Structure formats: structure tokens, C-alpha cells
Chain A
């Protein structure tokens, strides 16, 4: 599952980061153009001539939460199908237009969005604008190609869920955390639902969600803005906006009314424990404080969980926390894979003790500054490339509803106080809002073989 953690962008007009005061790092602003075509397609672009390449992304506001009934995994399967034949392109032609000229392409699907991206030598920009417009216009996939790609996705399921010793643990942590909201279906879906999917589902999904008013085109790199506008108008402009309304998930996950505890067994040799808490949607201001709290818990070896569970108590081989800021409802995950011979009950106690410390006392100014510095440097690194910048811009526009957030989020992050962190820790990390999952080796099952 891809997680977005970037909130800041390095601009086209690059300035040196200058330190104003502790924890007040000035970041270069990203100068972007923003226009919307008549058919609803939003186009965001950043001119940056530092390398002779261009990054092109198309963000579709559809994710696995929009999977049709009994078709879990479909949005992701569909993402794979988008590389098969269209009206004017043969299967894998996207690879011919990108990989074969020294660029690359890829795509990802998560709970909320599906994103297609390419980086190519800049002289291929018009070609790629044409190609992205072509696959938005319609697909033309045959059954053999559909089934073969579905087999690929089933192997992806096996490789991410079945084969790694903790694949199913992370799958279950999400699946068991939601009761009503479609977030209860992890993006990869299930083999049975993938097997039920048909070519007809593909056509219906395309006409429902793949429409210009549900898409955002992001272009970052070495281009001439007038030329770009002309190409976008020429190739995307004629695509009609359907008259049917876009369906949106309206299900609200009900608040949890008490702790739930589960034990599952797998082919892991070391036990694992995970705690989850429902938090808030990612556009909520509390999400900023939760993000800093997450860094304090698990970013680096000076983080609270690493220091307590791995270093000092030596109870865990690995620790994990993730603020998982999803569009409709956050899911904060805290967990540990145990060290040899340790007990899950003890690891759970240690995790809870660290959470309690953050509730009982504010973090120090130095610890707060450290977490912010870590988050900011991460952002700088992620935005070194055109593709990274485009991801940040797309995320702000599509998931936060405002591309300008790409430049204002640093200020939001800097504004988070120790009191904010203590407040959100108390608000969301309650006993009744907790799910506890023990993931134990099959061999330890009582009465098992």
C-alpha cells in the first residue's frame, strides 16, 4: 500500500533553505500553473528546466474504496488493464513510448486514488499527452489480455500477502479495522473477487470513473507552457464530460464502542502485535498533529517506540507506526514484530505505555523540533525529482482539495505544538477506540499440530 507522507515542494525557482530560527526552516515555494478545461479536467504544471526530462501524471479520484460490490481489488486490477489496448494503442504501447526511449512508467492504486505516471525525455511530452488522453477516451481490451493480467494481479496478491511472513498480518490489520466503510477491503482485494471480475466490469468502471472531471493532469519539468497548453487542449479538450453524476462513497464508519481483540495465526516464526485507532479524515487539521506524533513514535532510532521496545527493552525486532491519513477516516497503526522468546502481551503493554506517555505529558521543545526537522528533510528528499514534485502537487490537489497546500503545509506542520500532540493523543488513542491484533505462529496454536 502506498502511503503519502510528503507535504512540501521544492520550487522551480530554487532558493537555498535558510534557517530563520530553530524549527523555522524556510522552504522554496513551488510556482505552479492551474487551469481547468471545459470538460472538467484540471491541469497543474510546473516549469523546471534542471534536467531535460518531464514528469507526467494523471490522477483519477477513484480508489479501492470505490471497488464495486463483491469485486474487492477491482480498482487496482483496472489500473493494470489501463496498460492494455485502447482505441489507438496496442497492449503495452505505453511501455514503447516510455521505457523504449529511456523513460519509465508506472501506476499505483490506494484506497482513495489511482495515479498513472511517466517520466520521459522532454522531447516526448506531446506523445505522452496524446497517449494519456487516448486511454482516458476508452479501452479496447480482449478477454485473453484481461485474464492474463488478472493472473498477474493474483501473483501480486500472493507476493504481497501470502509469501512474506507478515503480509497477511498487515492485510488483516486494515481489514479488521473497519466495520462499515469500504476501507475494510484492502486495495489488493481477494483472489475470489478477482476471479469473479469480468470484461464487462472493466467497461462499466471506465465509463463511471475515468472521465475528465474526475481526473487531474500534472506535468513537471522541461516544457514550454504555451506548447503544453496547446497539446492539452488538442488531445484532452475533445473528450466529453459525461452527464451522469460521479458516484461517491457516503458510508461513514461508526465510532468504535469498545476495545476489540483478535488473534490470528500465520507462517511467521516471531509473533507480532498491532494496535489500530480510528482517527480523522486527512483534510482535518488534527491530521497534522497526528503526523508529527507519528514521527515522534517511530521516525528513526531516537524515536520513542524504537528506543523503548527495540533498544532499551529489546522486546521487539521491529516496530511500526503509521498515521495512515486516508481521505474519509484515518487509521493510526502501532505495532511490533517481537524479538525471539518475547511475549505479545508484554509488547502490547510496552506499546500502550508509550502511547500513555504522550498523553500524560507534552513532548519537549527539542523532541518536537527533531520530529519536524525529520519530516522536512524527508520532504526535501522526496521532492528532488520532477516525479516527486508532481506527486506532491497531485496529492494536494486531489486529496486535500487545494493544490496550494503544497506550499502552505510546511507552515501547518511548523504550527503544530506540543499541546496539539497531547490533545490528539488523548482524543483518539482511547481504550474504546482500540483494536488489538495478535498474529502468532501457527505452531503455537493450542491443540494444533
Chain B
């Protein structure tokens, strides 16, 4: 059990000099010594003739190499009736190529002690490789094979379909998972970020092997991809590996698919209060959900600092909900900046009886952020949380590759790694308030509660007479209506 759940021969045995003084302990903490400076590795890049952008970032502390191949499209390009297509396509990469079946891929990768996984997110699909540096070449050969030459055999499609259907069933037993899926539909309606990225029972049943092959052909091409190699490897060796295994990946003649979003913006209706009644829920999951910003928004750093005031162990949400009131094991928020405007979510799980109270607290804290600037004694530590977390994330090879990949995906300067701390420091208390008033309005935020409604609905209705209640058995995530259509008879 951990306290917090937020979001890594011969020895010289020295006998120390033992202390014998029995003084009383010092009553105040000793002050810190002067800080030491930090430098981060500098990524270098090249674009291969086929259009593949290759980035190498060297970090030699551990004998490990991570590689990430990013395709610049993901769940947002799922056709509306085929939710989960991008994720299924990415998941099937490792399930068979022209020369290896699924079992052989797993055997060969795992024999090297390596791990290889793939999937789709919003705005991108990915394959990740992690391997000891002494075994990077054989692992990279398999890595390239699965990205470039997957076969999508029907037996593998069927197997994954059943696994995905089971995963949907498992998710629908978890109040927190249901709340996040409903939140996406409420915020984004029928627009591309609204559907469940891993699909629904209905959409997963519709997806065919032909749909999957078409998705792969259209989006998995060198000029729509980025390869990041990081860790215990030099630039020269990294580029040589990239050229050897990806250099002859042919660029198709068809034009590159655009990255503009499909029609229909975020849902027009806001300020909704929605209850998904799940009578057997062991806790209520409470989520405040609304639109946030896109990744290239000039407000990005204002946004992440504002979010840090709310989020984290000593952030306002956890202060109010956990530390002061003992209502939850943890409350927090996230500002997910995507290619297009992404969601802002604030959430906590609590006993069913406290569902309405926690909803009030979430709304209250979002509102408070707009009403006054945070004091500097509050803001300075919240900025330290951001910069400290950023630096720690770069201490692992996979963290480093992930950060570089996220910048590259959004076409941002890779140099931002070395500017991040400064950019955070420059944000003022007034910036935070301005951002909150402009972007995080409480009145247009939505509340979703998934739990045993009997325990909290009367209290909730007193405050929000327009609350919409949907029994979990009638919940339909296939469209923005959220409710299964009335069947005749």
C-alpha cells in the first residue's frame, strides 16, 4: 500500500565514527546548501531520403536503449462507426509480419530481454522498444519488421477482437474507467476525441481485417513517421541503425494524409451534470470535465502551471478533498494538450455517500482559480513540482525518449527540453488567474459521477435540478446521446 497515488564483488565497508553527543534535536530544519545546475542531453536529428525524421539522444548512464517509432495519427482518425480501429491496427503490428508469426516475434524479442509494445493514442500511434544496449541491433531488426511489414492475418484479428471485447467488459466494471469514457463523450460529443479510443462492443465487432490493412497503408509511411533512439548509443550509431533498418522503407506515391481534424468541434452543450447509476459500485468516481487547450497554444505554459496549482499531492484539489477532509485517497487534475483542443479533467474517487460533496469541491476549486491569483508562496512550490518532475522524467532513458517524441510529434523545437524550466519560471500569478478565467470556467464545466446513485442523488439534485441520470445498463458510448435507443415493444 502506498501513501500517494500520483501521477520509476567486494565492497568497501566503512566503520563510521560514532557520535556520542546527546544533544537535543535541532528544532528547525537546517537550510539548503546552494543548488547545483542541471543540463539535459541534446537531441540531434536527420531526415532520411524517404522522409523519415530520425532523432538520436544520447544518455550513457545505464546500458539501455529505448526506441520509439511514432506515426503522426492515432485514434482521432478512427471513422465514427469504427472506434478503436487505430488502436487495433497498432496492436496488431506485433502479431505477425511477412516472415514472423506472433509467437516468433514474442519469443525473439523476449529472448533478447527486450520489450516491444505498440498502440494508439490521440494524435499518434507508436511502437516502443526497450533493450540492453549490447542487443540493440537484433532487436531493432524485429522492431522495423513489425512497423513496416505486418500482415494482419484474420486469425490474429479475431484473437485481438475477442481480447479487446473482454477489455471493454473489464473497463465497464470500473467506475473510474466508465467516468473517463463518459467525460470524453460529454466534452467532445461526436467529434474525433469523443469516442472510446479502444472502441466499444459494437464498433469492435464491425472492424474488419480490410479496414485495418487500409489504415496501415494510409498512415504508416516514412514521411508520416518519426523515429527516436535514445540512451546508451551515440548519434553516428543511431543514424546508422535507422538507415539500415528503415532506410529502404518506401514512401508511397499517394499524397500524405492531412492532419486536420474531422468536422464537428466540441459538444455545444456545456455545464451538464450526468450521473451513471451503477448500484454495485464500491465507490463513486467523480470527474469534472471540460475543454482545455491545444499543444501549440501560446498559453501552454500558463496552462500547465495553472494545472499544477490544482494537481499533485499538495495541489489544491488534494488539499481540500484528501488532506483537509479525508474524502478520497487522491484527487487531481490533468490538462491534456493535443493537436487540437484536448480535455481538462479534475477527478477523485470517494465513498458513494460523498459523491455530491466531492463534485461541489471540484467545481469550487476550479472557480476559485479564476477568482484570485495564487499567492507567490503557493505558486513558487507548485512551479518547483513541475520542473522537478520534468527533470526526474529525463533521468530514465524511456522518459527521455518519450519527452523528445512528444515535442517532435507536435512540431515543437527539441530545444524546449533545455528551455522548459525557464518557461515555467516565467509564469506569474496573474498569468495563472488569466488562464483560468479564459479557459477553465466552472460554469461551462461538466460533472460526471459514476456510482451508486441512491447514495448521493438526492443531495446532488438539490443543487443541480437538471441532473441527467442514466442507468449503467442503458449507457451507450457509441454516440454523444449516451443512451441506448429505445427498442420497440
Residue B465 at the chain A interface, CB threshold 8 Å: no
A442 touches B384 (CB 8 A): no
Given the interface pairs A17-B132, A163-B349, A373-B112, the reply to whether A34 lies near B63 with Cβ below 8 Å is: no
Q: Does A109 contact B (CB under 8 A)?
A: yes
Q: Are A137 and B29 in contact (CB under 8 A)?
A: no
Quick check: B159 and A314 within 8 Å, CB to CB? yes
- The yes or no answer to A285 lying at the interface (CB within 8 A) is no
A365–B353 CA distance with the chains assembled, in angstroms: 57
Contact of A314 among B9, B162, B172, B282 (CB under 8 A): B162
Q: Which segment, of B19-27, B49-57, B192-200, faces chain A?
A: B19-27
Is the pair B18, A159 in contact by a Cβ cutoff of 8 Å? no
Q: How far is the CA of A396 from the CA of B28 in the complex (A)?
A: 33
Contact B14 A35 (CB under 8 A): yes
Size of interface on B: residues with Cβ below 8 Å to A: 103
Interface size range of chain A in the complex: 35 or more
Q: Would A16 and B103 be within 8 Å (CB), given that A99-B313, A126-B30, A222-B36 are in contact?
A: no
A156 close to chain B: CB less than 8 A: yes
Contact between chains at B3 and A83 (CB < 8 Å): yes
Nearest to A295 among chain B residues (CB) is B110
> Contact between A155 and B350 (Cβ–Cβ < 8 Å)?
yes
Out of A147, A270, A381, name the residue touching B64 (CB < 8 Å): A381
Question: Is there a chain A Cβ closer than 8 Å to B114's Cβ?
Answer: yes
B351 is an interface residue with CB less than 8 A from chain A: yes
The answer to the question of A142 belonging to the interface, with a C-beta cut-off of 8 Å to chain B, is: no
- B1 engages A76 (CB within 8 Å): yes
Which residues does chain A contribute within 8 Å of B18, judged by CB atoms? Answer: 37-38, 233, 237
Let me know if B391 and A92 touch, CB within 8 A. Answer: no
Residues of chain B within 8 A of A370, CB atoms compared:
107, 110-111, 113
A149: CB under 8 A from chain B? Answer: yes
In the complex, which residues of chain B have a beta carbon less than 8 angstroms from the beta carbon of A407?
9, 11
Inside 8 A of A51's CB, which chain B residues have their CB?
Answer: 38, 391, 395
The answer to whether B170 and A270 have CB atoms under 8 Å apart is yes
The reply to whether A127 and B115 form a contact with Cβ atoms under 8 Å apart is: no
> Are A162 and B282 in touch, CB under 8 angstroms?
yes
Contact segment of A116-124, A325-333, A429-437: A116-124
Contact A100 B384 (CB under 8 A): yes
Residues of chain A within 8 A of B8, CB atoms compared: 384-385, 387-388
Residues of A in contact with B (beta carbons under 8 Å apart) = 1-2, 10, 14, 16-19, 25, 28-29, 31-38, 43, 50-53, 76, 79-80, 83, 87-88, 92, 95-97, 99-104, 106-110, 119, 121-127, 130-131, 133-134, 137, 147-152, 154-156, 158-165, 167, 187-188, 222, 229, 232-235, 237-238, 267-270, 299-303, 307, 310-311, 314, 317-318, 337, 339-340, 366, 369-370, 372-374, 376-377, 380-381, 383-385, 387-388, 403-404, 407, 442
Q: What 16 new A-B contacts, CB under 8 Å, besides A130-B30, A381-B130?
A: A28-B63, A52-B36, A79-B1, A99-B385, A104-B389, A152-B326, A155-B283, A155-B351, A159-B349, A165-B170, A229-B16, A237-B18, A238-B21, A314-B159, A317-B167, A337-B166
